[in-house]
Amino acid sequence: MFEWLLMATWSPYIVGAGIGVLIWTTFLFSDRPLGASTAYAKTAGMVESAISRHNAAKMPYYRKFTPTIDWQWIIIIGVVIGAFLSAYLSNTFTILVVPTLFADTFGPDPAVRIAVALIGGILMGIGARWAGGCTSGHGISGALQLSVASWVAAICFFAGGILVAGMMFGFAFS
């Protein structure tokens, strides 16, 4: 059992099944689907509140997604801790700024990678809230509930992603 925790990678089927079981527990104990992008909306709301509590309270979006520390927000903190535990136990924790694949195509300059990551993140944040969820909220939790919107969203995530990744790195099958 302990050796298993030290392994660098597990089979994707085992990992997926584990996430499936984890979602049983979120439905059972918390009456919620598992999602990640709401936490970012709450964080943005916390920043807006810190700048002006009055203005943030007037924004309709933060009445729907209240900027408070709760189940949905703390998830993302847990993910950082859980991933660190996994990486630390398997001795794969490595500080990096520019992933190798990115450097191979766009060069090793950290400033380029930081700018690209920021732009990508902003688009992703807008898109996730626009579509009402992300790869976990729609792609897994929503899809497993057989939600029409979630299956459409997941298809669009990959359609957009495949198109833009192909434009950036060259289509592998062309």
Site for another protein in 125-154 (CB under 8 A): 125-136, 138-154
Of 20 and 107, the one with the shorter C-beta distance to another protein is: 20
Contacts of 99 (CB under 8 A, 6+ apart): 113
The CA angle 82-40-154, to the nearest 5 degrees, is: 85
Q: Does 34 bind another protein (CB under 8 A)?
A: yes
Contacts of 32 (CB under 8 A, 6+ apart): 26, 71, 72
Looking at residue 111, the DSSP 8-state letter turns out to be: H
Choose, by CB under 8 A, the member of 52, 66, 92, 107 that binds another protein: 92
Site for another protein in 41-60 (CB under 8 A): 41, 43-45, 47-48, 59-60
Choose, by CB under 8 A, the member of 50, 84, 107, 109 that binds another protein: 84
CB of 40 to another protein, least distance (A): 4
Of 1 and 95, the one with the shorter C-beta distance to another protein is: 95
**How many beta carbons lie within 10 A of that of residue 41, not counting itself?**
20
CB of 88 to another protein, least distance (A): 9
- Kind plus residue range of the DSSP H or E element containing 104: helix 100-106
Choose, by CB under 8 A, the member of 96, 107, 108, 109 that binds another protein: 96
Closest among 63, 71, 87 to 29, alpha carbons compared: 71
